[in-house]
Structure 1
Amino acid sequence: MMLPTHAMVGLAVAAPLVVLAPDVVPAALVGALIGSVLPDLDLYAGHRRTLHYPTGYSVAAVPAAAAAALLATPVAVAAAALLVGAALHCRMDRYGGGLELRPWEGTSDRGVYDHVRGRWLAPKRWVAYDGSPGDFLFALALGVPLLVVLDGPFRWVVAAALLVGGAYAALRRRLARLAPTVFGRVPGPVREYVPARYRE
């Protein structure tokens, strides 16, 4: 799924604290947002393997959530929200398309790497691919209520994510056609950092 969708899920998971524990809401939202986008920082270096830990983040999130519930400090809540956001991100990537430039073709059996089992988990394709109409509708379904519930900078983050997600969804297939041309012209020293799928 696309990054804006991951961000919406993280914020949506933390949003109930607006009512339940308003004093830690900013910490929870920041933690959830960071955790929801953190795994994709590996986009150009072993994507869905280097920073994606579908089991590790989930296991770490349980004691972190318990500590956050007991301590109720902003730091504990932010740490728990970060781990929950990262765990959800990695799990969600399994339910989307594979790791290929054109995931709608369904040619990749790599959804996300499971470090515990030491193998790639196949994509389930419940959401056809990142930037698909279904992916954007999912982000929109979460984002619209967040625009109502959240305020201040978090409302702006949601609005920006929905705008970026909508533009990406509208351009996704065109971007796949452009990628080989654009990345084919990258200077030699930089080329080794461009994932092979962008040169297909």
Structure 2
Amino acid sequence: MMLPTHALVGMALSLPVAVAVPELAPAAILGGFAGGVLPDLDLYAGHRRTLHFPTLYPLAAVPVSLLALVRPEPATVAAAFVVIGAAAHCLMDIYGGGLELRPWEGTSERAVYDHVSRKWRRPRRVVRYDGSKGDLAISAGVAVPLLAFVEWPLLALIVIALAVGTVYALLRRRLASLAPIVFGAVPEPLEQYVPERYSEE
């Protein structure tokens, strides 16, 4: 799924804490946002493998969340939602399309690499691909309660994420056609950082 969806879901997961304990709302919401974004920082370095841990993040979420319950402080709550958001991100990617330039074609059987089993989890394609109508619907669906409960300036994060997601969804298929052209013009010393799927014809 697209990055804005992951960011919004991470933030939405923090809403119960944010509403119940308003003084911890900024830490919880920002933690969820950071966790939702974190795994995709590997986009140009082994995407869906380097920072994606579909088994380890959920396991790590248990002790970190317990610590936040025992010591509910901004740092512990933020840390808990970073891990929870990252766990949700990796699990969501399994239910999306494969790791390929045009995931709507369904040619890849790689969704997320599982470091515990040392193999790729296959894509379930419940949401056909990142930027699909279904993906955008999830973004919009989780944005609604966030827009109702979150205050400025954190509200700006939600509006920006939803706007970026909408534009991306509208342009997604065109971007797949442009990627080989754009990344084909990358200078030779930087070619090693271009994911293989971006040079697909």
**TM range, normalised to the smaller chain?**
over 0.9
Match of 1:165 in 2: 165
User: Any stretches of 5+ residues in structure 2 without a counterpart?
Assistant: none
Aligned residues: 200
What does residue 48 of structure 1 align with?
Answer: 48
Cross-structure match for 1:79 = 79
Measured after TM superposition, the shift of residue 33 of structure 1 is 0.7
Q: C-alpha displacement at 1:144, in angstroms?
A: 2.1
In structure 2, what is the equivalent of residue 128 of structure 1?
Answer: 128
1:28 aligns with 2:4: no
- Partners of 2:129 and 2:157 in 1: CA distance: 23
Q: Output the aligned Cα RMSD.
A: 0.7
| Structure 1: gaps spanning 5 or more residues | none
The corresponding residue for 2:181 is: 181
Tell me the SS of whatever aligns to 1:152: coil
Aligned equivalent of 2:8: 8
| SS of residue in 2 equivalent to 1:143 | helix
TM superposition shift of 1:30:
1.1
Q: 1:61-102 CA deviation, whole Å, 9 max, x = no partner?
A: 001111101111111111111100000001100000000000
What SS does the corresponding residue of 2:130 show, helix, strand or coil? Answer: coil
Q: 1:191, CA displacement in angstroms?
A: 1.1
| Structure 1 counterpart of 2:115 | 115
Alpha-carbon distance in 1 for matches of 2:185, 2:122: 32
TM-superposed deviation, 1:160:
0.4
In 2, Cα distance between equivalents of 1:18 and 1:122: 34
Asked if 1 retains the 8 angstrom alpha-carbon contact of 2:28 and 2:78, the reply is yes
> 1:19 Cα shift?
2.4
**Paired residue secondary structure (1:120):** strand
Conservation of the 8 A alpha-carbon contact between 2:18 and 2:28: no
State the shift of 1:6 in Å. Answer: 0.3
**Percent of aligned positions with the same letter in both sequences?**
58
Deviations 1:125-162 (CA, angstroms, capped at 9, x unpaired): 00000000110011001112211110112111000001
What code does the residue aligned with 1:102 have? R
Q: Offset of 1:18 from its aligned partner?
A: 2.8
* Counterpart-to-counterpart distance in 2, 1:149 and 1:23: 13
Letter in 2 for 1:87: A
